[in-house]
Amino acid sequence: MLGQIVDSCDFIHKWSSNDIAKFIRARGQAEHLFTGQRNSAVEGWKQVLSSIGLGTKVSPQQARKKWDNLKRKYKELKCPPTGTGTDNKVDTAASWSWYSAMDELLGQRHSTSPPVVRASMACISSMAELHSSCAMSSPPTREERVECEVERQERGRELSSFMDFLRESIEAEQAREEERQKKAEERFSRLLAILERIAEKVINN
């Protein structure tokens, strides 16, 4: 019941540093729960939140968003865009509080990243090496150009597969939500009919 209350309102939990540290650690320990099967993520997030005492304060959807934000920040710092400066106002891998904890999980566990991320990182690394060789020695060889083109095409295929999976997941969730709303409306209609019959009996008596 409490979990439903969290899901249905706009309450936003203010994450403390201690919350985030426990959240990252618990998510890493619960990796086996996120199998990609139907409803596995929701149940996984419920267990993660329950294990750190936030089960009644944070919804699975809010936990997933928090995790996505942490992963996105980590990946931005892991491979910052070319030309990024060292402005003190901008986080770096050395200054961001959660970089080491996230790197311990995502840097070693490929399964925590979707295929498109792994492919993107591989191609970025390959391109970096390619540009380095162009700048420091001779132009890239034909084999190097072919290899990078193959990686680019593979990344495109994996991106397409990931987008298909994401679209199917969204459609399935929308269908489940519509079914839940339909059942809720039916229950309300039955309750209303019962109340009307009770009221009618009271009036007649």
* 42: in domain: yes
pLDDT in the model for residue 7: 47
Sorting pLDDT into bands at 50, 70 and 90, what band is 105?
confident
Domain assignment of residue 9, given as a range = 1-66+96-109
Residue 155 inside a domain? The answer is no
- 30 inside domain: yes
Domain count, the chain: 1
pLDDT over 60 at 111, yes or no: no
Residue 134 lies in a domain: no
Instruction: Retrieve residue 87's tokens.
Output: 């402005």
pLDDT at 18 over 90: yes
Q: Give the end-to-end CA distance of the chain in Å, rounded to a whole number.
A: 37
Share of the chain above pLDDT 70, in %: 74
Nearest to 46 by CA among 76, 90, 98, 7: 7
Per the prediction, the chain carries an average pLDDT of 76
Q: Is residue 11 part of a domain?
A: yes
CA–CA gap between residue 93 and residue 91 (Å, rounded): 7
Domain assignment present for 59: yes
